[in-house]
Amino acid sequence: MPLPTGLNWPTVDEYKDWARIRDTSDDVAIDQALSAVMEAIVARAPTLAVADCPQDVLYATLLWTNRLLSRRNSPDGIVGVADLGVATISRQDRDVLQLLSPWLEPVLS
């Protein structure tokens, strides 16, 4: 699946600025997560493949990328939360879905 070619799609450096990441140790993982997110968006919203990235899609892309990077440390979907024990990372983020929903094409089976 190709990456989108329009303007304003986030880069690794833009994600790092947004997430306040200063070092380069995770650049490969960030690039992989960001590319996966953009490919997944284009797969469900083909009109965005050549379009400029709208602000709601840009923010959803950043949030979703952040979620994928968080999952690197919790492949089973469970993370430790300091003194509170463990928490489950849900499979879907409602905020991301809400931001992307106007652009997604329905899936017909």
Place of tokens 């489950």: 88
pLDDT, position 99: 96
User: Taking the CA of residue 80 as centre, how many other CA atoms within 13 Å lie in the half-sphere pointing to its CB?
Assistant: 3
d(Cα 40, Cα 46) in Å, to the nearest integer?
A: 10
Bridge pairing between strands 78-81 and 85-88 = antiparallel
Q: What is the pLDDT of residues 6-33, one digit of tens each?
A: 899 999 999 999 999 999 999 999 999 9
pLDDT, position 60: 97
Give this prediction's pTM: 0.85
Query: Residue 71: enclosing H or E segment and its boundaries?
Result: helix 55-71
Q: What is the pLDDT of residues 52-97, one digit of tens each?
A: 999 999 999 999 999 999 888 776 777 767 777 777 777 788 999 9
Which three-class secondary structure state does DSSP give residue 12? helix
